[in-house]
Amino acid sequence: MLQRGVKTGMKLDTTDRKILELLTINGRMSYVDIAKELGLSRVAIRERINQLMEEEIIEKFSVVINSDKIGKKVSAFFEVDCEPTCLVSVAETLAENPKVASCYQMTGPSTLHMHVLVEDFEQLEQFINEELYALKGITRVESHILLRRFKSRSGMKL
């Protein structure tokens, strides 16, 4: 059963996991549809989802955009090593860049992992030369171009 209370570190039961699975498939699924699927009331589903949000298990609801369909045809991943004293400033600057889809600090010697989406290779070259290498404190950059996506985080199994 659910442990109620603010940020108690609630334990997920089978119903909570099924709700999360359904919302992962379709974040716009209504409480009524989830309730029908699970044999519960709409109110019970609403309360469970509210609790999952309160506990920050559900961080937010968002939309996944097909970058290729909006003209962002080149997807590249970067490993960026920085001088330790510059890591946070480099990461914050990159995180503000609209071409940067995600940016994470990884284990290793002051390493950032970054995903960049651009329209074409010319834009990618411009990003690397004018925006990435221009940042003070970067010591090494390694890039990988995405050829085909088989699964992304939104397809997470619980």
* CB 67, CB 123: distance < 8 Å: no
User: Using CA atoms, how far apart are residues 82 and 138, in angstroms rounded to an integer?
Assistant: 4
User: For the structural domain made of 1-64, what CATH number should be given?
Assistant: 1.10.10.10
Reading across the β-sheet that carries 111-118, which strands appear in turn?
Answer: 100-106, 111-118, 74-82, 138-145
Domain 67-147 has CATH 3.30.70.920: yes
User: pLDDT digit of tens for each residue in the chain (158 aa)?
Assistant: 344 444 557 788 999 999 999 998 888 999 999 999 999 999 999 999 999 999 999 988 887 777 888 888 999 999 999 999 999 999 999 999 999 999 999 887 779 999 999 999 999 999 999 999 999 999 999 999 999 888 776 654 55
CA atoms within 13 Å, Cβ hemisphere of 35: 12
In the structure encoding, which two tokens stand for residue 93, read together?
């600057």
Range(s) within the chain of domains with CATH label 3.30.70.920? 67-147
* CB 123, CB 74: distance < 8 Å: yes
pLDDT at res. 150: 83
Range(s) within the chain of domains with CATH label 1.10.10.10? 1-64
